[in-house]
């Protein structure tokens, strides 16, 4: 997921903006971002008819809903939004639940402008995805526990924060490709609006206020073995030292390769712009793998490396996903 926490690891992806310094917001950028998110939310209010009609492969499954689940024989291949940062455009089949959990993640930052290094520990961050129709789903992502340790140049000023992170409410609406992504050259596209809600504004883990945004996931099947995922998005982030919000812009690309029916790997670049970090914008390189134990169960692991001064130095993690 791409709703990145500026203090701890991205609750799903692990990308940290350690030591971020936020200057006064750019009002025009924040307004533009809010309007973009509102547009996504407006589309979300009327998704079923629009989405089902736009994908020619969805007609034979359009009758299935949350209360009339898709039969097991018609389920799509298990597709997850983890472990890479890049969101997939595919939704969970109607009436099914998919639980994607980051079992453990560790992040070491680079020194910020004051020389402070931050170590973050993420435990059991989970995204619960619920299929509403054949082309729409709702997600609830939450971080039950996290730890952040700061190590300034003066060891007497070191701090430790722990507690519950924020809660992300997300939706995904596949516009095409859910059931037609089976041949080289096929494409898929979706809308993914989200909002982040604080749980504890003083624990150093949860965000201080409400945030939100919109992500546009796109995928191309390059060949029988290679696939490419692309994301672009905007995230309206609360300022850390002045009132108000500002807009940050997200982009990522992930190239995947299917070694066997069970084992796949990915190679990714992701970036975040307009962070108002004095060290510059954030860019990371990542790689990892997924291994399917069964039709509905998958393990994964990966590692991210910071490519710019503002990015974290390293972020290893591993997790599991299950469909019910």
Q: Mind giving me the DSSP string for 266-294?
A: EEEEEEEE----TT--EEEEEEEEEEEEE
pLDDT for 57: 57
Domain membership of residue 126 (yes or no) is yes
Question: Is position 8 within any domain?
Answer: no
Mean pLDDT, contiguous 10-residue spans, the chain (324 residues): 41 36 41 46 44 56 95 96 97 98 97 94 97 98 96 93 94 97 96 95 85 97 98 91 89 98 98 90 97 98 96 97 98
Q: Is residue 17 part of a domain?
A: no
- Which of 282, 318, 315, 280 is CA-nearest to residue 298? 318
Q: What is the tally of structural domains in the chain? A: 1
What integer pLDDT is reported at residue 45 of this predicted model? Answer: 43
pLDDT at residue 60, as a whole number: 83
Q: What's this model's pTM, rounded to 2 decimal places?
A: 0.82
Q: What's the pLDDT score for residue 202?
A: 81
284 within a domain of the structure (yes/no): yes
Residue 12 in domain: no
Residue 98 sits in which domain range? 27-323
Is residue 15 in a domain?
no
The CATH number of the domain holding residue 101 is 2.40.160.40
In a domain, 203, yes or no: yes
Kindly report the number of other CB atoms within 10 A of residue 82's CB atom. Answer: 25
d(CA 290, CA 258): 9
| pLDDT confidence of residue 278 | 87
The answer to whether residue 143 sits within a structural domain is yes
pLDDT of residue 288: 98
Backbone conformation region of residue 276, classed left if phi is above 0, alpha if psi is from -120 to 50, else beta: left
């Amino acid at each position: 997921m791409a709703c990145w926490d500026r203090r701890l690891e991205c609750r799903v992806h692990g990308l940290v903006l350690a030591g971020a310094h936020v200057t006064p917001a750019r009002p025009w950028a924040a307004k533009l971002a809010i309007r973009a998110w509102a547009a996504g939310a407006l589309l979300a209010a009327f998704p079923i008819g629009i989405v089902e009609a736009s994908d020619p492969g969805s007609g034979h499954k359009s009758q299935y809903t949350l209360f009339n689940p898709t039969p097991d024989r018609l389920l799509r291949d298990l597709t997850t939004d983890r472990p890479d940062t890049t969101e997939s455009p595919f939704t969970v089949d109607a009436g099914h639940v998919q639980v994607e959990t980051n079992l453990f993640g560790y992040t070491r930052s680079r020194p910020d402008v004051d020389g402070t290094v931050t170590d973050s520990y993420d435990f059991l961050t989970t995204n619960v995805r619920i299929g509403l129709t054949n082309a729409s789903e709702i997600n609830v992502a939450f971080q039950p526990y996290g730890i952040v340790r700061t190590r300034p140049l003066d060891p007497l000023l070191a701090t430790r924060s722990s507690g519950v992170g924020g809660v992300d409410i997300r939706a995904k609406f596949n516009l095409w490709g859910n059931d037609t992504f089976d041949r080289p050259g096929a494409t898929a596209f979706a809308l993914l609006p989200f909002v982040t809600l604080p749980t504890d504004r003083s624990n150093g883990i949860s965000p201080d206020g409400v945030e939100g945004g919109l992500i546009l996931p796109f995928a191309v099947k390059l060949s029988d073995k290679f696939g490419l995922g692309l994301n672009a998005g905007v995230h309206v982030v609360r300022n850390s030292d002045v009132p108000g919000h500002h807009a940050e812009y997200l982009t990522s690309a992930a190239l995947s390769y299917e070694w066997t029916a069970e084992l796949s790997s990915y190679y990714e670049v992701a970036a975040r712009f307009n962070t108002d970090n004095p060290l510059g914008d954030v860019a990371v390189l990542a790689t990892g793998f997924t291994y399917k134990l069964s039709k509905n169960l998958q393990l994964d692991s990966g590692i991210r490396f910071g490519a710019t001064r503002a990015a974290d130095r390293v972020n290893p993690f591993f997790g599991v996903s299950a469909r019910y």
